[in-house]
Amino acid sequence: MSYPDGDLRDQLAHVGAEAVRTGLVIGSGGNLSGRMAGSDQCWITAAGSWLDRLEPTEFSLISIPEGRFRDGHPQPSSEWRLHTETYARRPDVNAIIHLHPQTSVLLTALGYDIALITSDHAYYLREIAAIPFGQPGSVELAVAAAEAVAGGINALMLDHHGCSVLADSVELAHKRAVNLEEAARSTYAALLLTAGRSRRVPQVPEAFLEAVGRGEAQV
């Protein structure tokens, strides 16, 4: 099946359904947004929505960065600032996937880095940053997250909470979110296999990571 095109809400609903179906997240653990390139508004999932049952009416069109929404639109997710603060600092980003994926969150809470073990992990993620715990939905957390990715990082862990994954399209953000949790599951398995002897799991060769950084790598 090809990726749904057209309306951002259809693409985001596809992400939500697939994220729950594949065990990336449990039903309501996260929120999703997308904006048309160059727009000062974004569509974001409504407060309390279930990710695997997103209808077009469960999205709110909000202003960036104030979060104003139109009459008749549902109340946006309580974490809307996490999206708008990042859009305000990253004009190249048009989709933000914020999920609470269990293995990524567990490893980060235990102080382990998520290793880029395969060429796919390296190609899609390149670098994973992490920030300390902040109150979900707070201005402080949204600003800290936005500042952490302002330099171009597209995969961020929010300690004891979740991830924020960015891209210029919903499809690429989805691929990054899938690869982030897959990298975390592989890292978790590697730590078990080495019985915790090494806190640093071997990554792809540095030369490949450098090629990814130069935009010269393929997978």
Q: Are strands 155-158 and 30-34 parallel, antiparallel or unpaired?
A: unpaired
Residue ranges in 131-160 that form contacts with Zn ion under rule CB under 5 A: 136
Residue ranges in 159-178 that form contacts with Zn ion under rule CB under 5 A: 162
Shortest spacing between CB 45 and Zn ion, in angstroms? 11
Shortest spacing between CB 122 and Zn ion, in angstroms? 26
The count of residues interacting with Zn ion (CB under 5 A) is 2
CB 116 within 8 A of CB 122: yes
Shortest spacing between CB 153 and Zn ion, in angstroms? 18
Among the listed ranges 3-11, 116-124, 128-136, 205-213, the one in contact with Zn ion (CB under 5 A) is 128-136
Reduced to 3 states, what is the DSSP secondary structure of residue 145?
A: helix
Among the listed ranges 38-46, 49-57, 129-137, 147-155, the one in contact with Zn ion (CB under 5 A) is 129-137
CA–CA distance from 130 to each of 73, 146, 149, 186 (Å)?
33, 12, 10, 18
- CB 187: neighbour CB atoms within 10 A? 23
107, two tokens: 């490893």
Residue 101 sits in the site that holds Zn ion (CB under 5 A): no
Tell me which residues touch Zn ion (CB under 5 A). 136, 162
